[in-house]
Amino acid sequence: MSQVPVIAVFDIGRTHKKFLLFNEQYQVVDETSVAWPDIADEDGYPCENMPEIAVWMRSRISEALAKQTDIRAISFSAHGASLVHLDAAGKQATPMFDYMKPLSEEITSGFYALFGGRRAFSQATGSPVLDMLNSGIQLYWLRHFHPELFEKLDTSLHLPQYGNYLFSGKKHADITSIGCHTGLWDFAKGTYHGWVKAEGVANLLPPPEPVSAYDLVRFGDKEIPTGIGLHDSSAALLPFVYTAEKPFLLLSSGTWNITLHPFFKGALGEEDYKKDCLYYLLDQDRKVAASRLFLGHEYQHQVKKMETYFHKKSGYYLEVEPDTGLFIQALQEQAPDRVFYPETMAGTGPFPHLKGTPVDLSKFSGFEEAYHKLMLDLTYMQKVSVELLSSHSPVDRLYISGGFVQSHVFMELLHAFLPGWELFIAENKRASALGAAVAMHDVWQPEPLTQDVSPIVPFKPKLSLDLSSYRSYFGL
């Protein structure tokens, strides 16, 4: 372990849980990544094994301190739409229900009726209708459909704040977690929405606090400032916002590709919400417009099918480089039966109701040809998702972070689909964890933050592609 001053960060993703140590230059000096198989909730639906994750988190700090690691601060980032419900004794009272858990029409229609319907819900809470991804619906569901569980609840914490609670024993709510498609926040009034009090759940939710909030937590003979945590997509944005010289969009890529517009000056409308646009909060007075796309999940689903069909080893797609000839061929042979319609994205993204027959892979000569057409279709969806925001509030600089920067095919296509834009690669592959660390900067470092914390590199395409003849067949 490190003997230099560090900040310890837990970055809790849906699949991988990471523990990182950053030095004063925000370079990673140690990193551990683990994953647990899901357990099941009362209905048999998969959910995260939070009791085991909590044990692991406590053990990582204990082990680091036992090795004399000079931890000067602790912070947390975690995925949104996840609540940890505590009982009066401070113990987990229910499973941490998964954000993809399906809910019946009776539940969802009753919840949205509190606002006057789905359209009114979106306008008031800055979020599309996302059911369980609107985490506030959990409280309504438990109160009306599982009163025996609801009676056990004393406090409901979003996952980042549960990280803090494991060490501090304090109960917090940070503004980024409340503001990320929860259905809990009234964006017009800048406070919890009135339904929270009307439904008798206000007492379960702590008051909102800024991302810089922290507790002093005693570990043996030392006190360590311990942040209250923040939503991972908002965390990924912070290093760039704090050091930006010009307006930009950030595309945070991974399982979800989320485009964030921290300089948004327009207003999202009804059609935007239908196309998976929403607001995030960086603080109570700063809205960030966003558009979501379940692209990484769809991508993995499609390439696994292709690897199986073409008898390729797992991960073969990582070896495919962009080929101008295959792009030209794909454009020349466009037809409805050669379209890779999304198979795992129903209800999400700019084409939430898009349906189509899964493509017959026998129409392609091999993996490479099929892969290039797949990437044309998927990257087009990304272009549309980005332009939903820029059409309201023009920007021509796009930062891309996360897993998709590793795909040369994706980067070449995105550059070609966005002529006139400047694309930059955010080189830090741990954007959420870095943001959580940066949120605590003033607590553990005396010098001001510099641009070095979030290096970006201009993307320079190797191909010259004209995609003006591309047809998506998706409709708008």
Residue 26: give its domain's CATH number: 3.30.420.40
| The total number of structural domains that make up the chain | 2
The reply to whether 1 falls in a domain is no
The reply to whether 455 falls in a domain is yes
How many C-beta atoms lie closer than 10 Å to residue 215's C-beta?
Answer: 18
pLDDT of residue 476 exceeding 70, the answer is no
Q: Looking at 228, 260, 275, which one is the last position of a domain?
A: 228
Per-residue pLDDT band for 2 (boundaries 50, 70, 90) equals low
Question: Are residue 131 and residue 153 in the same domain, yes or no?
Answer: yes
Q: What CA–CA distance (Å, rounded) separates 223 from 240? A: 30
Question: Are residue 214 and residue 359 in the same domain, yes or no?
Answer: no
Residue 167, both tokens: 């060490």
Question: Are residue 217 and residue 249 in the same domain, yes or no?
Answer: no
Output the CA angle 400-229-166, nearest 5 degrees.
Answer: 140
Question: Are residue 157 and residue 25 in the same domain, yes or no?
Answer: yes
For 123-179, give the DSSP string.
HHHTS---GGGSTTHHHHHHHHH-HHHHTT-SEEEEHHHHHHHHHH----EEHHHHT
Tell me the pairing of strands 39-40 and 46-47. antiparallel
- CB under 8 Å to 25, separation ≥6 — which residues? 452
The reply to whether 421 falls in a domain is yes
Q: What CA–CA distance (Å, rounded) separates 127 from 121? A: 8
Structural domain range at position 304 = 231-476
Query: Residues of the chain with pLDDT > 90: what percent?
Result: 85
Question: Are residue 167 and residue 265 in the same domain, yes or no?
Answer: no
Amino acid at 217: V
Mean pLDDT over the full length of the chain: 94
Least confident of 44-48, 140-144, 400-404: 400-404
pLDDT tens, position by position, 120-173: 999 999 999 999 999 999 999 999 999 999 999 999 999 999 999 999 999 999
Q: Which helix (H) or strand (E) holds 159?
A: helix 159-168
Least confident of 107-121, 167-181, 298-312, 425-439: 425-439
Question: Are residue 222 and residue 241 in the same domain, yes or no?
Answer: no
Q: What CA–CA distance (Å, rounded) separates 303 from 199? A: 45
Query: Residues of the chain with pLDDT > 70: what percent?
Result: 99
Its pTM surpasses 0.95: no
- CB under 8 Å to 52, separation ≥6 — which residues? 36
Lookup result for tokens 């641009």:
451
Question: Are residue 117 and residue 130 in the same domain, yes or no?
Answer: yes
The reply to whether 341 falls in a domain is yes
- CB under 8 Å to 118, separation ≥6 — which residues? 112, 129
The reply to whether 45 falls in a domain is yes
| Predicted local distance difference test score (pLDDT) of residue 452 | 80
Per-residue pLDDT band for 284 (boundaries 50, 70, 90) equals confident
Tell me the pairing of strands 71-78 and 6-12. parallel
Question: Are residue 289 and residue 367 in the same domain, yes or no?
Answer: yes
Question: Are residue 281 and residue 317 in the same domain, yes or no?
Answer: yes
The residues that bridge with 249 in the sheet, in sequence order, are 398
Question: Are residue 59 and residue 77 in the same domain, yes or no?
Answer: yes
Question: Are residue 385 and residue 241 in the same domain, yes or no?
Answer: yes
pLDDT of residue 416 exceeding 90, the answer is yes
Q: What CA–CA distance (Å, rounded) separates 61 from 66? A: 8
| Predicted local distance difference test score (pLDDT) of residue 378 | 97
Q: Looking at 202, 228, 254, which one is the last position of a domain?
A: 228
Tell me which of 348 and 169 has the higher pLDDT: 169
Question: Are residue 305 and residue 427 in the same domain, yes or no?
Answer: yes
**Sheet with 286-293: strands ordered across:** 277-283, 286-293, 257-261, 249-253, 397-402, 422-426, 456-458
The reply to whether 95 falls in a domain is yes
Tell me which of 243 and 421 has the higher pLDDT: 421
The reply to whether 272 falls in a domain is yes
| Predicted local distance difference test score (pLDDT) of residue 243 | 86
The reply to whether 164 falls in a domain is yes
pLDDT tens, position by position, 218-243: 999 999 999 999 999 899 899 999 88
Q: Which helix (H) or strand (E) holds 411?
A: helix 408-417
| Predicted local distance difference test score (pLDDT) of residue 455 | 83
Q: What CA–CA distance (Å, rounded) separates 466 from 417? A: 8
To the nearest 10°, the Cα dihedral for 77, 49, 171, 277? 50
Q: What CA–CA distance (Å, rounded) separates 130 from 233? A: 17
Residue 360, judged by CB atoms within 10 A of its CB (0-12, 13-18, 19+), counts as exposed
Q: Looking at 186, 206, 228, which one is the last position of a domain?
A: 228
